[in-house]
Amino acid sequence: MRGLVFTVVLLSVFGVSAASRAVTLSTDPALDLSQKGVALHEPAYDGREGGETIEEAFVIEQLPFTDSGATCDNVDDYDEACPYTGSTSPDVVYVYQNPQDDVVTIDLCTSQYDTKVYVYDFDNGYGFGNPYACNDDAGCGYSGYQSQITGLYLMAGCTYYIVVDGYGGDCGEYDLNIVYYWECFLECPPGAVPEGEPELVDDYVDNYNSGCGGHPEPVFQLLCADEDNELTLCCNAGNYSYEGMAYRDTDWFTLYKASDPFYASCLAEEQTYVFQLGFDPELRCGGDVTVDASILCEPCLETDLALTAEIGEEVWVWAAVSGWDDIPEYLYILTIRGLSGAATPAQETTWGAVKKMFR
């Protein structure tokens, strides 16, 4: 499903999976994507792409592998439902024969259109209509509608066909990255402060630090520094279901700038987004909330996000798992440097009578 207005695109970023959009949005793939809130890009017709068919697939000789291409000058040879049907998008094909057992991530997150990716493993019976792996919306990329398959097992000696496709009839420029995947295990460092959120279980009601998505009113977690204007927080994140719809735990923090350098560092067991959000200080959640800066933390790779504010100014920081692939609860460590030791007395961290957003 795809959003009809920009607010729905924000929903895909801040809390609700693509599956929940089926309730209210059109499922007609013949609709013009430009009328569906999807930011379209100029199509590229330059011959840069994988093979047209499985018989003509571009051979990947070794991993890791990176390629870029453009699909608008190709034709629609294949389609798989994951979960959306009826795609007429042009597609291209890559082939890889794995010399050893490996676990990989297939990533289209930096592509410039609404992608889909799936894998055929004919050696083991995972062929047409029954792909070995498939993903449409991973929640990553500029719109959240780009694709990624994480932790995919490749058996030694088997031949895998990787199809780069699109939603509906969308096409455009893509970036394909296939990298080795490794499991990341972290421990909370000494002196770190626990986030304190309850365990994520099905039908969990996220009212702990769910920010503008809180019910019945927004609720933020105030972060205060030690004497060195620094705080390290041990947090949990992941996916859960509520009334049959897929959700992700979203953590909303409020803090105040005290000094430079002013930034957030993220270290996570799974891919994790960290945003600095922009908001109207008077309207709070009742106004427009924007993503002013962002990072994607790869597993076990510490990543910094520069925060922008004046001394004493309030800042909102948002964090969540990157996608909707049934990621169980995991640990991420968030360190903020340059924040104040206490809130400005005039500010509050919860507000009533506000517009319900981001659900």
Same domain for 261 and 305? yes
Instruction: Specify the pLDDT at position 294.
Output: 92
DSSP alpha helices (H): ranges in the chain? 6-14
Strands of 159-166's sheet in order across: 58-59, 92-97, 159-166, 115-120, 133-135
In a domain, 294, yes or no: yes
In a domain, 202, yes or no: yes
Same domain for 171 and 212? no
Name the pTM for this structure: 0.62
Same domain for 152 and 247? no
Structural domain tally of the chain?
Answer: 2
Q: What residue numbers bound the domain in which 292 lies? A: 193-337
39, 143 contact by CB (below 8 A): yes
In a domain, 63, yes or no: yes
Q: How far apart are the first and last CA of the chain?
A: 16
Instruction: Specify the pLDDT at position 325.
Output: 66
In a domain, 21, yes or no: no
Same domain for 197 and 146? no
Same domain for 205 and 88? no
Q: How far apart are CA 303 and CA 133, in angstroms?
A: 29
Same domain for 262 and 221? yes
Same domain for 156 and 207? no
Domain-ending residue, one of 146, 180, 214: 180
List the CATH number of the domain containing 104.
Answer: 2.60.120.380
Same domain for 198 and 225? yes
Domain-ending residue, one of 115, 145, 180: 180
Please work out, in degrees rounded to the nearest 5, the angle formed at the alpha carbon of residue 338 by the alpha carbons of 301 and 261: 70
| pLDDT by residue, tens only, the chain of 359 residues | 333 222 333 444 455 443 332 222 222 322 232 332 333 333 344 445 689 999 999 999 999 999 999 999 999 999 999 988 899 999 999 999 989 999 999 999 889 999 999 999 999 999 999 999 999 988 787 788 999 998 899 999 999 999 999 999 999 999 999 988 878 899 999 999 999 999 999 888 888 999 998 888 899 999 999 889 999 999 999 988 888 888 889 999 999 999 999 999 999 998 899 999 999 999 999 999 999 999 988 888 899 999 999 999 999 999 999 877 678 999 999 999 999 986 543 334 443 333 333 33
133-135/65-70 β-pairing: unpaired
38, 12 contact by CB (below 8 A): no
Q: Phi and psi of 324, rounded to 5°? A: -125, 35
Instruction: Specify the pLDDT at position 142.
Output: 79
